[in-house]
Amino acid sequence: MNKTETIAAIATAMNNSGIGIVRISGDDAFAIIKKIFRPYKNKNIDEVSSHTIHYGTIVDGDQIIDEVLVLIMKAPHTYTRENTVEIDCHGGMYVLQKTLELVIRNGARPAEPGEFTKRAFVNGRIDLSQAEAVIDVINAENDFALKSALTQLKGSVSEKIREERAILLEQIAYIEAALDDPEHIEMEGYGEELRPILIDRQKVIQTLLDSADDGRIIKEGVKTVILGKPNVGKSSLLNALMGQERAIVTDIAGTTRDAIEESIRLNDVTLNIIDTAGIRDTEDVIERIGVDKAREYAKEADLIVFVVDVSKKLDSNDYEILDIIKGKKTIVLLNKQDLVKEAELDNLMKELEGMPVIETSITQNQGLDLFTKTVREMFYKKEINFNDQVYITNIRQKAALEAAKDSLSRAIDSIDAGMSEDFLTIDMMDAYTSLGSVIGEAIEDDLADEIFSKFCMGK
């Protein structure tokens, strides 16, 4: 990327709104705005202070395009560390497009997705983990996801990674210096001193890796599958949690034949819920496909909600579901408590030992508060504290941490095998490099392009 190129894009949502912003960044940003902006007080843009707002009109020759506010921000104290201009227009799409076209005609080029943030990364204002946190802030769907992303944006992951890299680099430098000057730097017994240092680094990395499951759930939500026989209240549960009639509910067994997927926020937990076809033996080809899909969804679920109808006698289908949920995180809802109970639950309760069991009447909105509380406690057993805890929410970062841990394991094995110190530095440097890829200090251009291509236009 040529740093001197000037880029521009609409930075707000692509629909009509009260205000829309056209963002310009690059060496020619001020020259471009001088050509198309007429301030009401005859100001020279080159002479105004940085981070000031100016009122006037955007013009194309003698034609006024819009009445605007223009924000002037001078390098290096900007998001991209380049000269930056933001034009606050009225938020109609037509006027925004006209303004952007005018900016491009006067010397800018259209920005690629994520290019403003990519420039912030390339120009050293943020590292890669912080850049990835930007899109997490944009995509956050609950308080935990937002707080986690903001913590990473402030540098919580970066700080931890830099600390670990500094410790490794110090040891690598000592070994290299000793190999270059063995007469003055003693290496006798150094392996025994180094071993606990590397083990401590492994422990720190493992702590970060241990946070990844919580981090994924914080960011992406809990993959939740509702299972049960036909007509036990699965679709009613989905509707009750959503607060609207999303799924068709009838007294006819087998109404739900295909999976229905919805994302639901329960306080600070997001559930990505799949309401499945009722589990039962059936001759209906279409329904049987739905039942098979329900079993497949259950294999990949973070959480299964097993709904049991206590107003009906249990049968083989209920016990088949017990086989499906073995070894999975499961909440059991004993539903239809408002009706006469026909189910003999003693044997079932023995099978459900260790699982949360909640008595509900979904149609009467009974037991759903306890269900919400149970979900939170199941996935966040301790209080989430973003001041103290760093959460890894990114698969790429997790893979890099795992690679670093493996490299440290090889270095420790080499110490135990009595290998020479130059072998140790190879694996330690591999760990150092893998940690560096978390924050973008050792990353291929094509991977950077892939990461930033996922951003929205104008960010």
Compute the distance between CA of residue 307 and CA of residue 321 in angstroms, rounded to an integer. 10
Reply yes or no on whether the pLDDT at 401 is more than 90: yes
pLDDT of residue 284: 54
Identical fold between 131-216+391-453 and 220-379? no
**Residue at 296: amino acid letter:** E
Tokens standing for residue 396: 């790429």
If DSSP states are collapsed to H, E and C, what string results for 151-178?
A: HHHCCHHHHHHHHHHHHHHHHHHHHHHH
Which residue matches tokens 């017994």? Answer: 189
pLDDT value of residue 372: 87
Partners of residue 178 on adjacent β-strands: none
Phi, psi torsion values for 145, nearest 5 degrees: -60, -40
pLDDT of residue 83: 95
Q: Give me the torsion for CA of 61, 66, 72, 76, rounded to 10°.
A: -80
Residue 1 pLDDT more than 70? no
What rounded mean pLDDT belongs to the chain?
Answer: 84
220-379 homologous superfamily: P-loop containing nucleotide triphosphate hydrolases (3.40.50.300)
Using the predicted structure, report yes or no on whether residue 248 has a pLDDT greater than 50. Answer: no
Q: How far apart are CA 99 and CA 102, in angstroms?
A: 5
The span from the CA of 174 to the CA of 168, in Å, is: 10
CB 291, CB 277: distance < 8 Å? yes
- Contact between 335 and 309 under an 8 Å Cβ cutoff? The reply is yes
Angle at CA of residue 25, ends 24 and 31, nearest 5°: 75
pLDDT at 255: 44
Query: pLDDT band at 109, cuts 50/70/90?
Result: very high
Q: Where are the domains of the chain?
A: 7-126, 131-216+391-453, 220-379
Average pLDDT of the segment spanning 442-459: 70
The DSSP element (H or E) to which 308 belongs, if any, is strand 303-309
Residue entry with tokens 């490099």: 433
* pLDDT at site 254: 44
Structure confidence at residue 94 as a pLDDT band (50, 70, 90) = very high
* pLDDT for position 400: 92
User: What residue type is assigned to position 288 of the chain?
Assistant: R
Structure confidence by residue, pLDDT tens digits, 360-397: 998 888 998 998 888 888 876 555 555 556 778 788 88
Counting residues of the chain whose pLDDT is more than 90, the rounded percentage is: 34
Q: For residue 73, what pLDDT is reported?
A: 96
Q: For 266-324, what is each residue's pLDDT tens digit?
A: 767 788 888 876 665 555 555 566 667 777 888 888 899 999 888 888 888 888 888 88
Predicted pLDDT at 386: 54
Strand partners, 84: 25, 73
Q: Which two tokens stand for residue 72?
A: 């002037």
Mean pLDDT along residues 204-210: 90
Q: Is the pLDDT of residue 192 over 80?
A: yes
- CA 201 centroid distance within chain: 25
CATH fold group of domain 7-126 = Gyrase A; domain 2 (3.30.1360)
pLDDT in tens, 129-173: 888 888 888 777 777 777 777 888 888 889 999 999 999 999 988
Which of 13-17, 76-80, 92-96 shows the lowest mean pLDDT across its residues?
A: 13-17
Q: Is 389:362 a contact under the CB 8 Å cutoff? A: no
The predicted pLDDT at position 256 comes to 45
pLDDT beyond 90 at 49? yes
Contact 84, 78 (CB under 8 A): yes
Cα 168 from chain centroid?
29
Percent of the chain with pLDDT over 70: 87
**Residue 262 falls in which region: left (phi positive, over 0), alpha (psi -120 to 50) or beta:** beta
Tell me the C-alpha distance between 78 and 419, whole Å: 50
Which pLDDT does position 251 carry in this prediction? 46
66 to 82, 100, 400, 411: CA distances (angstroms): 26, 12, 49, 64
What CATH number was assigned to the domain covering residues 131-216+391-453?
1.20.120.430
Predicted confidence at residue 221, as pLDDT, reads: 81
Residue in this structure with the two tokens 């088949």, named with its chain if needed:
320
Whole-model pTM over 0.75:
no
Closest CA to 415 of 194, 180, 184, 174: 194
H or E stretch at 378: helix 368-379
Q: Who's near 170: CB < 8 A, 6+ residues apart?
A: none
